[in-house]
Chains A and B, each alone.
Chain A
């Protein structure tokens, strides 16, 4: 199975750059377009995932395991960040009865 994968592998690094750029852009557009805080949060997760994919691709490209270890650490930090962020969302909802981000503009200017 591994030999088959290695023999047939012929995808250029440019394809991964294109894919990750498109994914990151979709995440940025999600942050800019939506007003629901949970969907904004999911868009941020999508941006993290696109960067993870590009890191893994470059790690294989350079035959260096450090990139994949770095992806592992990014996943660890993302898990901690999601726990704290969702707790913040629950607290905001408890206080204001909404998670519309346009109501959370006290720190905007």
Chain B
């Protein structure tokens, strides 16, 4: 019962802050609401007993990526409300398209059984011990390939970002 209430509270915070990301005028406010939504998602991970993902989500998303966004906005001085408006017809069409997408997504997965998420006696798969075992036995090749990906990303960022 307690976790159900917590789930709905976190969901309301998550959906509200996500809507505010889209509908606020200033980009800095969008970034701050996005940080709130990332914390709500971390709460959901804790509710799913996935502590490692919750911590990594806060460190990577709310820590690193949002700082990058904030620095870009502040360095480029983009916090202006002079964004030109799209026509109202385009906005209405966009909202209708999004609602159709949601109906399609929910309807296609409607036939799934309504079982509770956790009904196992051993529900420690989200702990760092089990994830580390899985990461370094089954997924060791992708794990090493991510280092190559990061190296490529560093080189690409430096090449794009430097002045000619």
Contacts and interface: CB of A to CB of B under 8 A. Distances in A.
Interface of A: 2, 5-6, 8-19, 21-30, 32-36, 38-39, 41-43, 45-46, 49, 52-53, 56-57, 59-61, 63-66, 68-69, 71-73, 75-84, 86-91, 93-94, 99-100, 102
Interface of B: 1-4, 7, 11, 14-15, 18-19, 21-22, 27, 30-31, 34, 37-38, 41, 44-45, 47-50, 52-53, 56-57, 60-61, 64-65, 68-69, 72-73, 75-76, 78, 83-84, 86, 90-91, 94-95, 97-99, 101-102, 105-106, 109, 112-118, 120, 122-126, 130-131, 133-135, 138-139, 142, 146, 149-150, 152-154, 156-157, 160-161, 163
Given A46-B18, A49-B38, A63 B112 contact: no
B115 A13 contact: yes
A89 to B, nearest CB: 6
A23 B69 contact: no
Contacts of A89: 72
Given A8-B1, A39-B30, A86-B72, A49 B125 contact: no
Contact of B146 (A11, A52, A76, A84): A76
